[in-house]
Amino acid sequence: MKELEGAQLDERLRAFLSEDVGRIDVTTEATVPPGTRTRGELVAKSECVVSGLPVARRVFELLDPDLAWEEAAAAGAKVAPATPLAYLSGRARAILTAERVALNLLQRMCGIATATRRFVEAVHGTGCRVLDTRKTAPGLRPFDRQAVCDGGGVNHRYDLTEMVLIKDNHRRLAGGVARAVAAARSGAPGTPIEVEVESEAELSEALAAGADRILIDNQSPETVARWCAIARKEKTPPFLEASGNMRLDTVRAYALAGADAVSVGALTHSVAAADVSLELFTA
């Protein structure tokens, strides 16, 4: 996982704040007297898995470096509605101006962590891992991936550099699985190679070519079980991943079919944000 920190994190968060604030927070500047101080708490209004509190804290700190902050829930903890997540106090104007960006990130990250935990619990006891994908909104990938980890999932490749992943269009344009794998091995020596397969013939080609990982895409659990059995007859079996419209009601069947991992794009491309609010009081 590539986690933003330090100056890189601040740069990304400042860009988010700039987008949200514009030239000036007219409402806060017009209604809240200068020097006003406030205290408050971030509260989970829905059951969720906690993720993103350090990010939310940093958003507030960028506008109020003297912010006081106390976390009340740990990353990865499952909390009930009405649970306080953190307590804060500081300059009222700064906290109000930063509120929306902090909450947007926190709610999204808690939502992703919550969805991930549900998938992790669905495959519990099988040894199968739950992976994320690159189906993230531009600019949010580091936050989304951290949330997946907080939910108990595992990160797939961060970007296009980390792994060769030969999909249908690559196979077609390269002239088939064998040619694509050979070209990848020559053009990116030492880089792990994963091949997406959608037929038993493609599976056989990928195994013969010595792919490190096989991605079985858009197949039934029964087909995944059969193809996993074939792949595991190899002297050095590849890592086996299943993907394609993974749902909570079907994912365990894929895990029991023998996949080492299932990749779930919905964790990040169809986020249902957790309900988290900021309640402020006079200091």
* Contact partners, residue 178, CB within 8 Å, separation at least 6: 205, 208, 209
**Annotation marks residue 150 as catalytic:** no
Q: What are phi and psi of 280, to 5 degrees?
A: -110, 145
Residue of 12, 14, 78, 100 marked active site: 100
The answer to whether 120 touches 262, Cβ cutoff 8 Å, is no
Residue of 132, 194, 217, 241 marked active site: 217
**Annotation marks residue 196 as catalytic:** yes
Please name the amino acid found at residue 139: G
Residue of 12, 135, 179, 226 marked active site: 135
- Return d(Cα 162, Cα 236) in angstroms, integer: 22
**Annotation marks residue 100 as catalytic:** yes
The structure tokens listed for 199 are 């037929």
**Annotation marks residue 135 as catalytic:** yes
Strand partners, 37: 91
**Annotation marks residue 20 as catalytic:** no
Q: What are phi and psi of 106, to 5 degrees?
A: -65, -45
The answer to whether 47 touches 81, Cβ cutoff 8 Å, is yes
Residue of 196, 202, 205, 241 marked active site: 196
Residue of 12, 14, 167, 226 marked active site: 167
Active site residues: 100, 135, 167, 196, 217
